[in-house]
Chain A
Amino acid sequence: DTEVTQTPKHLVMGMTNKKSLKCEQHMGHRAMYWYKQKAKKPPELMFVYSYEKLSINESVPSRFSPECPNSSLLNLHLHALQPEDSALYLCASNLGIGSNQPQHFGDGTRLSIL
């Protein structure tokens, strides 16, 4: 069982829909991350939040909008996605930027865009 919880586990949406992915951790971690993983490829970093502030955006299209309401929660708001955005979206957390402690991952949300 992972200590990082992601909901929903699966999501199917049309290109005109608006939906949100949620991630929650209660380990007191102050850094949280979104990664995208296409089929048969390694995960790729999208966003990094440190102390609830966005510190890294890896040139992600604006149709993906992250939000960190508090230190335990991380959301990814989705709007007007394209079929090529279908992927596994992974959330991770760790103690904080600059720590050598490992990142802990959730099991992801598998997103399908129709």
Chain B
Amino acid sequence: DAKTTQPTSMDCAEGRAANLPCNHSTISGNEYVYWYRQIHSQGPQYIIHGLKNNETNEMASLIITEDRKSSTLILPHATLRDTAVYYCIVRAMYSGGGADGLTFGKGTHLIIQP
């Protein structure tokens, strides 16, 4: 799987939009971009994923650049409960077996300030 690069940490004021960048310059055509977050002492929580189109769900929006070499996760109105480590992961789809686990990078520690 392609590697990703994320800032180590970011701060955001409560109530503002949090924009978390991710670079994945070696992404392949069949690789999706996934975002997870991990709140202290919990398992990783799925947020959103996409291939090339922008995606939105009840938690966040995912903006993928046209060349697919980078993406941004947007939390529209950050709350204190959004403080967590956010992981950007690229993952290929394999049919009939083969490597399928997630390869986590170091992620971004997002701190929401009151």
Q: Which residues of A contact B (CB under 8 A)?
A: 2, 4, 31, 33, 35, 42-45, 48, 50, 55-56, 58, 90, 92, 97-100, 102-108, 110
Give bound CA distance, A2 to B64, whole Å.
Answer: 28
Q: Tell whether, in the assembled complex, residue A56 and residue B100 are in contact, meaning their CB atoms are under 8 Å apart.
A: yes
Given contacts A42-B106, A100-B49, is CB(A105)–CB(B43) below 8 Å?
A: yes
CB distance from B90 to the nearest CB of A (A): 12
Q: Which residues of B contact A (CB under 8 A)?
A: 32, 34, 36, 41-46, 49, 51, 87, 93-107
Given contacts A2-B43, A42-B104, A105-B43, is CB(A99)–CB(B93) below 8 Å?
A: yes
CB distance from A46 to the nearest CB of B (A): 9
Kindly list the 6 A-B residue pairs having the minimum CB-CB distance in the complex, ordered from nearest: A45-B101, A42-B104, A105-B43, A102-B46, A98-B95, A97-B100
CB distance from A106 to the nearest CB of B (A): 5
CB distance from A4 to the nearest CB of B (A): 8
B44 to chain A: which residues have CB within 8 Å?
Answer: 43, 90, 92, 105
CB distance from B103 to the nearest CB of A (A): 7
Contacts A/B (CB < 8 Å), 23 sampled: A4-B43, A31-B100, A33-B101, A42-B106, A42-B107, A43-B44, A43-B104, A55-B98, A55-B100, A56-B99, A56-B101, A90-B44, A97-B97, A98-B94, A100-B51, A102-B34, A102-B46, A103-B46, A103-B102, A106-B43, A108-B42, A108-B43, A110-B41
B95 to chain A: which residues have CB within 8 Å?
Answer: 97-98
Q: Tell whether, in the assembled complex, residue B42 and residue A107 are in contact, meaning their CB atoms are under 8 Å apart.
A: yes
Of the residues B49, B93, B101, contact of A48 by C-beta under 8 Å? B101
CB distance from A11 to the nearest CB of B (A): 15
